[in-house]
Each structure stands twice: as C-alpha cells, then as structure tokens.
C-alpha cells in the first residue's frame, strides 16, 4: 500500500507535502477523531454507519456538527478525492475531524476542521488461511468512558500494543481494561465462538463501537444464530473453539493460535461468506 499523494483539507484538494498542520489542535492535543472507511471494488462501504459514529463522537467531544456535514457531502468529497488520487478499485479512506481555532487546553472558539485521505489497497476483502497468532498487551489499560467508543486522534494504547506485537513476533494483540477483561484488539473488535454460539466483548468493557462489529452482530442475528455480548478474561478465550477479529478496513481475520491453543476456523469462514453476500446485495 502506497501513501496518498493528495488530501482534502477543508474542502480543498492539495498535495500531501504542503505544511498545513503546524500548531493546530489535532497536532498539539489530539483534539479530534477519525473514521477509516473501506472502498471495496469501487463502492464506499457503510458510509452512513461511519458518519453516525463520527457525529456521535463529535458530540461527545463537544464539537458542533456543521449543517453541511451530510452523507451526500462526504460521499462527494471522498469520490472527488479518489478521482484525483486514482487508487484503483480498493482503498482505505480516512476522514479526520478536529477542533479548529488554536488556543491552549480550553478552545477559544467552537470551530471544526477536517481532512480526508485515500490510500490504495492491493485487494478487496479476502479470506485468508494464513496463521495468525494472538498475544496480550497489558501495560496500558483501555477503559470505558464517554469518549472510548469512537476512534480518537490519541491512539497511544494501540500504538504501544502495536510495538509490543512487533517485538514479540505476534500477528495481533488483545488490549485489556483495568479489570483485566478483554476490551478489543489493536485495530479491531474481538469475537469468539463456543459450540454454535457467537460472542463479543461489550462496549462497556472499553471496546470501540466498531462499524463492522455492528454489521457482524446483525448478520449473526439475521441468520438465526445465537449471540451474546459478554465480558471475558484472556485465559477464558482458551476455552473457545474459534476466535476472530473484525475491522471495516480489512474485514474478518481468523485467529489460529493463542499461546499453546490452536483454533478452528470453519464457522468464521462461513460468517465471512455471509458478509460477502451481504456486501454484494
């Protein structure tokens, strides 16, 4: 995946090399949030759901939501940027919204700014049988709060978990809350299967309210499969038959190993097939 060559900054498409982010609140305080959106075979997936979460996040951050921030507005802005970027049929799209106006901790004005990126990807959602080893990152807890359900510009727990993953030669890591329960993974929500029942961690344990998480939960229910939200400790995942991760950027990732435990992938693969059918409808 190459980096983007252009960005949309407050409605203007400019080259990425232009210095526009000096001394703003996004850089100084992480005072903002973002959405990572999938372009799948030329179609923007789940845009309304991403915008719903973004608007709810803005409200949680006490940011005004401008009247022109509509699905039509963002769809056009993203498509215009993609036409300039020419990423091909598959790409990762990013919308970042942050508080404008400078100042110190207390913002002097209630202004909102945004930028968008489009980064090409090699392929669309695809099933992989590759080994995927899971670990646990314990150093920085990820707890539930009024601002834990969306993707904040301050993502330090995930950054540090990513460094831990690389240092320990893992494929992904669980992040825990201060009670030692699983919140989510580095960039994804965590699901597991026992028997024929599906489970995921509750948002109140610190998980991101993932867009694909919601879609997967709805798919499970629509296909009359059993589903529960429940808290879980890392060691309790050793009793699961299957474990998988979800992220709107790359779809479903099946976990094959966690320590000495090896997992099946049969039901996860079936769920992936249901997801692909849903997208193609």
State the pLDDT at residue 56.
98
CA distances to 73, 197, 263, 280 from 277, in Å? 28, 21, 25, 5
Residue 33 CA to residue 19 CA, distance in Å, equals 20
Whole-prediction pTM: 0.94
Tokens (6 digits) for 170: 């893992």
Q: Tell me if 150 sits within 8 A of 208, measured CB to CB.
A: yes
| Pairing, β 182-185 against β 172-176 | antiparallel
pLDDT tens column, 134-152: 999 999 999 999 999 999 9
State the pLDDT at residue 102.
81
Residue 35 CA to residue 50 CA, distance in Å, equals 7
With the CA atoms of 168, 169, 171 and 176 taken in that order, what torsion angle do they form, in degrees rounded to the nearest 10?
A: 0
State the pLDDT at residue 21.
60
Q: Which domains does the chain have, with CATH numbers?
A: 6-120 (3.30.470.10), 133-280 (3.20.10.10)
Residue 35 CA to residue 102 CA, distance in Å, equals 22
Nearest to 149 by CA among 32, 232, 54, 47: 54
State the pLDDT at residue 18.
65
State the pLDDT at residue 101.
82
pLDDT tens-digit profile, the chain (281 residues): 667 889 898 999 988 876 666 558 888 889 999 999 999 999 999 999 999 999 999 999 999 999 999 999 999 999 999 999 999 999 999 999 999 888 888 888 889 999 999 999 999 999 999 999 999 999 999 999 999 999 999 999 999 999 999 999 999 999 999 999 999 999 999 999 999 999 999 999 999 999 999 999 999 999 999 999 999 999 999 999 999 999 999 999 999 999 999 999 999 999 999 999 999 98
Q: Backbone dihedral region of 260: left (phi > 0), alpha (psi from -120 to 50 degrees) or beta?
A: alpha
pLDDT tens column, 152-203: 999 999 999 999 999 999 999 999 999 999 999 999 999 999 999 999 999 9
State the pLDDT at residue 36.
97
Tokens (6 digits) for 41: 């075979």
State the pLDDT at residue 274.
97
State the pLDDT at residue 195.
98
């Amino acid at each position: 995946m190459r980096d983007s060559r252009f960005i949309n900054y407050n409605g203007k498409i400019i080259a990425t090399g232009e210095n526009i982010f000096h001394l703003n609140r996004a850089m100084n305080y992480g005072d903002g949030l973002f959405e990572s959106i999938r372009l799948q075979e030329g179609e923007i997936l789940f845009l309304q759901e991403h915008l719903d979460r973004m608007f709810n996040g803005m409200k949680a951050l006490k940011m005004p939501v401008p009247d022109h921030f509509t699905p039509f507005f963002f769809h056009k802005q993203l498509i215009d940027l993609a036409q300039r970027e020419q990423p091909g049929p598959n790409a990762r799209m990013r919308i970042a919204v942050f508080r404008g106006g400078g100042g110190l901790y207390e913002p002097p004005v209630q202004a909102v700014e945004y930028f968008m990126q489009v980064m090409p990807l090699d392929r669309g959602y695809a099933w992989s049988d590759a080994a995927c080893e899971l670990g646990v990152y314990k150093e920085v807890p990820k707890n539930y709060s009024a601002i834990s359900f969306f993707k904040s510009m301050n993502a330090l727990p995930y950054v540090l978990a990513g460094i831990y993953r690389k240092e320990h030669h893992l494929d992904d890591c669980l992040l825990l809350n201060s009670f030692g329960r699983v919140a989510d993974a580095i960039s994804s929500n965590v699901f597991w299967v026992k028997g024929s029942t599906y489970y995921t961690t509750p948002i109140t344990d610190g998980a991101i309210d993932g867009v694909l998480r919601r879609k997967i939960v709805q798919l499970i229910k629509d296909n009359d499969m059993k589903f529960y939200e429940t808290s879980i400790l890392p060691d309790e995942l050793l009793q699961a038959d299957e474990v998988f991760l979800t992220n709107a950027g790359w779809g479903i990732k099946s976990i094959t190993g966690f320590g000495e435990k090896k997992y099946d992938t049969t039901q996860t693969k079936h769920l992936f097939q249901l997801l692909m059918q849903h997208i193609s409808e």
